[in-house]
Structure 1
Amino acid sequence: MNKILLPLLLICYSTGIYSQGLSEKKLKEIVESYKSSIETALVIEDCGHVFDGPLYAAKQLENVFLDASLNFNSKERKVMASSIFYDVIRSKKIVKHHASKDSVLAIVQKITNQLVSKDVIYKLTIIDSKQVNAFTTMGGYLYITTGLLDFVDSYDELAFVIGHEVAHEIKLHTQRKVTKMLYSSSFFKLISIADFKKMVSSINSSLSAPFDQIDEYEADKYGLLLAKGAGYDVNRFGDFFKKFEKYEKRDLLTKLKSTHPFAKHRKNCISKYTN
């Protein structure tokens, strides 16, 4: 318990230093966020890998400093997002007309209707690839492979995947990853816009989007809520991971090298969220 609470208490302390001038409403939101983080960390500790609960708590501390250190305004995000999008479509084979596109767009619409903020307009691109994958880049650009569309057995399953990808945008996972890469690559020195765009593109345009394992858990939870709110069957969400589970090798080395949690653990946590 202490290994989970300590990072969260550090967040409270560090944020408290900068809390002067914050409104009562904002402070209440911060407190509620901490409570939610503790609850989620305890759930993940139970259903995930032995490392995942403590890592989730520690990740929240990292997020506080990343969010405070660098933030993109709406104009910067729009310019960056557009540049990344054009880099992606130049490097991938895009399917303009797919038999399932209208159905997928309908799911995207139902999912995004659940969002309180309407600042981001989500845009779908289907990529011709046998790989089973989906990813999102800054600015609400969603990418789904034809391999994924062939892999899922229901729209409920697909709605969960789309909700998961939307959650990556809402929860600022890509932006935080960019911030970390910016610091590690430039050692806090300014770099050119061209170099920065190239770096961000390399981070985001791969079909295996390099989100941290803890971000995947958070995107699973929030994506589940979005898909559920859109009317899809929560009992089918875990089906996506059941098909991966029997093929994965769950050893420590694989755990340390992987950008995603084990499918078995993600399936277990989805079951916890739906109960």
Structure 2
Amino acid sequence: MKSIPALLLSALILSGCATHQSPTGRGQTLLFSSQEINQMGDASFEQIKKQEKMSKDSKLVTYVDCVANRVTQVLPDKSLKWDVVVFESEQVNAFALPGGHIGVYTGLLKVAENEDQLATVIGHEVAHVLAHHSNEQVSRVQMTGLGMQLADAALGAGGVSNKDLYMAALGLGTQVGFILPYGREQENEADIMGVELMARAGFDPSQSMLLWQNMAKVGGEQGPELLSTHPSHGHRIDDLSQMQAQVMPLYLASKNKVKNRCQIAK
């Protein structure tokens, strides 16, 4: 049987995919169902927990849990219980995965100076999941990965596994040695959604600008891992500044309703 040209194979895949609109109206190609993408998130999180050292500092874990739980409690889906794990690492990083998983590295807590700044990062990462960016990225891997496999076969060379590709697409580049970055539009969407989430959860959105200023000071010109594929610090801070008038009323309406302030116990 003759081989099918790569472009034709891609066209066949695309003809069967689902097209959605992102929260900002951008078109998205999503090849996987919610159940499938959640299963990928579940499996990836289990693998990360085996590879990374989980923190045993109960005070630190309680603090991160508090911030993450307040953010996830304002999400539309109240039935999903999010699993939050703190990893003992100097990485200035955090991630969220489909299926309800949040990972925070202790290195981030040296840069996020308070609960509001930590909520900025967690809100942003959760927003990537809510906006189906994970599905979008893994779908891109499915399409481009096909081309990579064809190229490997033609060259008689080996390639990375699908599992590694999917983990990289889910934002776990530090674990597999490379990352497939979110695009600028995806990052902007996550910023917009994330700062609204934190405001609705009773966290001060003005602290989001301070958080990214702190990030800009870490690691010199390259910055920390969390920013390796993100928009420039100045661009992000300018956008967040313009959003304050929109999100500050949400914060003012919700802050007095918050009963569980999040602080690291002394």
What's the TM-score, normalizing by structure 1? 0.67
Q: Structure 1's 245 and 77: CA in aligned 2 closer, same or farther, altered over 3 A?
A: closer
Structure 2 residue aligned with 1:89: 49
- 1:226 paired with 2:193, answer no
Structure 2 residue aligned with 1:128: 88
Q: Distance in 2 between matches of 1:225 and 1:142?
A: 18
Structure 1 residue aligned with 2:253: none
Structure 2 residue aligned with 1:259: 229
2:71 to 101, 107, 111: 111
User: How far does residue 232 in structure 1 lie from its aligned partner after superposition?
Assistant: 1.1
Cα deviation, 1:146-167, whole Å, max 9, x if unaligned, reads 0001221111111111111110
Q: Distance in 2 between matches of 1:94 and 1:112?
A: 21
Give the 5 Å matches for 1:27-176: 37=25, 60-61=26-27, 63=28, 66-67=29-30, 70-74=31-35, 76-176=36-136
Q: Distance in 2 between matches of 1:86 and 1:174?
A: 17
Q: Structure 1's 71 and 188: CA in aligned 2 closer, same or farther, altered over 3 A?
A: farther
Q: What is the aligned-residue RMSD (CA, Å)? A: 3.1
Structure 1 residue aligned with 2:167: 201
Note if contact 2:61-2:85 (Cα within 8 Å) is conserved in structure 1. Answer: no
Q: Percent identity?
A: 27
Q: Structure 1's 187 and 219: CA in aligned 2 closer, same or farther, altered over 3 A?
A: same
Structure 1 residue aligned with 2:5: none
Structure 2 residue aligned with 1:50: none
Q: Distance in 2 between matches of 1:71 and 1:175?
A: 7
Q: Distance in 1 between matches of 2:79 and 2:182?
A: 23
Q: Distance in 1 between matches of 2:167 and 2:217?
A: 33
Residue identity in the other structure for 1:268 = D
Higher helix share: 1
Q: Which runs of 5+ in 1 are unaligned?
A: 1-17, 20-29, 38-59, 251-257
Note if contact 1:83-1:197 (Cα within 8 Å) is conserved in structure 2. Answer: no
Structure 1 residue aligned with 2:208: 237
> What SS is found at the alignment partner of 1:99?
helix
Q: Distance in 1 between matches of 2:34 and 2:210?
A: 38
1:269 to 236, 239, 242: 239
Q: Which runs of 5+ in 2 are unaligned?
A: 1-17, 151-160, 223-227, 246-266
What's the TM-score, normalizing by structure 2? 0.69
Note if contact 1:182-1:188 (Cα within 8 Å) is conserved in structure 2. Answer: no
Structure 2 residue aligned with 1:214: 185
> What SS is found at the alignment partner of 1:71?
coil
Note if contact 1:87-1:201 (Cα within 8 Å) is conserved in structure 2. Answer: no
Note if contact 2:40-2:98 (Cα within 8 Å) is conserved in structure 1. Answer: yes
Structure 2 residue aligned with 1:53: none
Q: Distance in 2 between matches of 1:121 and 1:212?
A: 28
